Amino acid sequence: MRILLATTVLSAALLAACGSSAPPPPPAPAVAPIANAVTGTVALIEPRELSDAAKVDVKVYDVSHPEIVLAQTTIPNANKLPLSFNLPIDTTKVDPKGIYALDAILTDGDRRFLKKLEYQVLTDKARTAKVDVQLAPEPTPAEKLFEEYKKAAAQTGNLKQVSGKYSNDNFGTAWDAFLSNGKVKFVREVTDAYDDSGRTTYKIAYKDDKPWAIVRESSPVGSRQVLATTKVGWGDDGSLVLHEKVANGQTSDVSEADAKALRDHADNALGVAQGHAPKPQTGAQTDDKTKKGAPAKKKH
């Protein structure tokens, strides 16, 4: 009887255990479908006035293969921001495992405005389909060139310096040249006219024995106040990149002819300065000087 009772209790326990098994896990949440359009706005981080020629280029592209563009558009007359955009997407061309992003570039003359962040869309975890893009200005080629010029000017204190002066009945000129390995890299030239036309200062940077950036400043007689500043500079291909004149608070372009005249002046200044530069010593000359300066050997 006891054996039968124990067997009955064990069977009941096994049946209870089977009845209390864990429920199956809940189904995975449904993945949101890929959007058939990417929409949003384009704005500037720091608002500024734009010209009527401003335009915005917007596109959705494959991050792994940037040449693959799913959609793109150009918005002209983009001088009033923020601007809205709508890019229809052919979802059959979207790889669910791919990574896609939105790019936007605003162009206004030489100035470009670029995004600071990457805006992933379509296949990201949130299946993003609406983006508000913030753009920031990129330095223009002229601004980049002038920054390089300022760095070159700041390095003159580390270079060898030679100086000179010359004059005639109309003016007197003093100049300083700064050299590296016997080559003129920078010239500073100050000319004082003997009449009332004032002082003209040239600051010229050279690369490969050619002027690549020139700043000319005009000042009245007996004053350090600069009335007008002209900046010109050329790219590696010889094209005029920097061509700006500021006078009386107004900015204007420098013509090709005026830029050429400044370059001719810089070439002449290079010839004068390089003519006064110490001649680099050759190895043979150095050996000769060493031998001449060496003490005579004692005879034993």
Phi-psi domain of 40 (left: phi exceeds 0; alpha: psi -120 through 50; beta: other): left
Amino acid 199: pLDDT: 93
pLDDT for residue 27 is more than 70: no
Residue 29: count other Cβ atoms within 10 Å of its Cβ. Answer: 6
Percentage, residues of the chain above pLDDT 70: 83
Q: Which residues contact 31 (CB under 8 A, 6 or more apart)?
A: none
pLDDT, tens digit, for every residue of 173-220?
999 999 999 999 999 999 999 887 899 999 999 999 999 999 999 999
Cis geometry, peptide bond prior to residue 82 (ω within 30 degrees of 0): yes
pLDDT, tens digit, for every residue of 230-240?
999 999 999 99
Instruction: Kindly report the backbone phi and psi dihedral angles of residue 211, in degrees, each rounded to the nearest multiple of 5, phi listed first.
Output: -70, 135
What is the rounded distance in angstroms from the CA atom of residue 60 to the CA atom of residue 240? 35
What is the rounded distance in angstroms from the CA atom of residue 4 to the CA atom of residue 11? 11
| Average pLDDT for 3-9 | 46
Q: What is the pTM of this model?
A: 0.70
Top-confidence residue, 118 or 14 = 118
| Average pLDDT for 247-256 | 93
Task: Report the candidate in 175, 153, 123, 137 with the shortest Cα–Cα distance to residue 49.
Answer: 137
- Mean pLDDT of all residues belonging to the chain: 88
Top-confidence residue, 292 or 41 = 41
Amino acid 5: pLDDT: 43
pLDDT for residue 282 is more than 80: no
Amino acid 11: pLDDT: 52
| Average pLDDT for 54-80 | 96
pLDDT, tens digit, for every residue of 135-162?
999 999 999 999 999 999 999 999 999 9
| Of the ranges 21-30, 87-96, 276-285, the best mean pLDDT one | 87-96
**Rg, the chain, Cα only:** 37
DSSP the chain: -HHHHHHHHHHHHHHHHHHTPPPPPPPPPPPPPPPSEEEEEEEESS-----TT-EEEEEEEESSSTT-EEEEEEE-S--SSSEEEEEE--GGG--TTS-EEEEEEEEETTEEEEESS-EEESSSTT---EEEEEEEEEPPHHHHHHHHHHHHHHTGGGSEEEEEEEE-SSEEEEEEEEEETTEEEEEEEEEEESSSS-EEEEEEEEETTEEEEEEEEEE-TT-----EEEEEEE-TTS-EEEEEEEETTEEEEPPHHHHHHHHHHHHHHHHHHHHTSPPPPPHHHHHHHHHHHSPPPPP-
List, in sequence order, every residue forming a beta bridge with 43; answer none if it has no partner: 134
Locus of tokens 């020139």: 214
pLDDT for residue 117 is more than 80: yes
Top-confidence residue, 64 or 24 = 64
pLDDT for residue 280 is more than 90: no
Amino acid 229: pLDDT: 97
Top-confidence residue, 5 or 190 = 190
